[in-house]
Amino acid sequence: MSGLVTAYANQTIVWKHRSGPDRHGDAVYVTSSIKGRWESKHRLIRMPDGKEIASSGLCITEAAVEVDDMLTAPNGRVYVVLSVSIIPGLNGTELHREVMV
């Protein structure tokens, strides 16, 4: 992690991400712990279809979190990932991700 992200991404967050479909076509999830910074933040998000959805949290992390993954906040509540913004560093590589749930 970069210096600034490392300093503030000190919370443990449970991440459930898709590893592929099972033999019936249902999603299979893998659970792991990641480091991040969780903030309760309310914001309207415009989805690709133009619909607006209320977001209730932000997670800053370097993990490769994607839309439709699930994150468990430090308070134990489980959220579905609504949007992911990849933040580049000055050299153009990925610095971290801002994940809205």
Percent of the chain with pLDDT over 70: 94
Which one-letter amino acid corresponds to residue 72? T
**95: containing domain:** 3-100
Q: What is the mean pLDDT of residues 25-42?
A: 90
Which one-letter amino acid corresponds to residue 56? S
Q: What is the CATH number of the domain that holds 93?
A: 2.40.10
Instruction: Give the count of domains, the chain.
Output: 1
- 57-93 confidence digits (pLDDT tens): 999 999 999 999 999 998 899 999 999 999 998 898 8
Copy the structure tokens of residue 98.
Answer: 């801002």
Which string of DSSP letters, residue by residue, matches 46-98?
E-TTS-EEEEEEEEEESS---TT-EEE-TTS-EEE--EEEEEE-TTSSEEEEE
Neighbours of 62 (CB within 10 A): 18
